[in-house]
Structure 1
């Protein structure tokens, strides 16, 4: 039974790797397939994958038609906006864009990557702000517990002394956190304005 399951999984995996079905290979419009692949930003190596997928059907791709379609598709894909999106996402820059559009695409990518780096700065500051707020919340919980000890009828004198000492430390630490928070939020506001300036300059 385990052997059957294993074979089934292997078969499913192999099927998942196929770029085209047998029927698609038999009735393929290789220009259109190339156009679609290029428009999706898939490099020309995809043709080798198509060739492998179609070998079982006894079909050999029309390389010339595919490459013509793929080139046209890349012209649709390798735009300023696509470069901007990839750069902003922090994705690596594709190296297969045609010479006719590479300059515009690269410019978009550089602009996007500049945004990406600035967004990383902002996210790092946001993370630090959240961390300080978390620390303040934690300290406020400890303060509430120690205040309860101070007013509780069941607390001993020693417990009250310890609670009072702890309260002083906690309140001092909260004061430091509050100063850190002011500095971080001011920095965050500034870095957000830098990102806005970057975006405006790129228009």
Structure 2
């Protein structure tokens, strides 16, 4: 079962948007939301500029909304239990410490 989950995580990671696919996107809110809900770090202004993102504020708003959803400590245990890594994306949020503890608990159970 762990092998199946590991393969699933790798497949989903491969589905993340490549920079070439993002150039010319018009819905930067959705791009930001998807980055955050996947637990990815926010893209820098330089990266967004290189992708011809004309709506950085839309990206930032989407990222903030996605981060609010992702950083829910009630979901953190399941994220860890599914074998999904954590990059510290929520550490600076109000519930960041609780999120990390719950994720670690799930990660520990995943690895047993």
Residues 31-110 of structure 1 aligned to structure 2 (within 5 Å): 31-45=29-43, 48-54=46-52, 60-97=53-90, 98-110=92-104
Q: CA RMSD in A?
A: 2.8
Aligned twin of 1:20: 22
TM-score normalized by the length of structure 1: 0.38
1:37 & 1:48 partners in 2: Cα distance? 16
- CA deviations on 1:150-198 (whole Å, 9 max, x unpaired) are xxxxxxxxxxxxxxxxxxxxxxxxxxxxxxxxxxxxxxxxxxxxxxxxx
TM-score normalized by the length of structure 2: 0.60
| Shift in alpha-carbon separation, 1:47–1:38, aligned structure 2, 3 A | farther
Q: Contact 2:40–2:89 (CA<8 Å) still a contact in 1?
A: no
Higher relative contact order (CA 8 A, sep 6+): 2
How many equivalent residue pairs? Answer: 94
Offset, 1:87 = 2.4
Aligned twin of 2:13: none
> Which consecutive unaligned segments of at least 5 residues does structure 1 have?
1-15, 55-59, 120-203
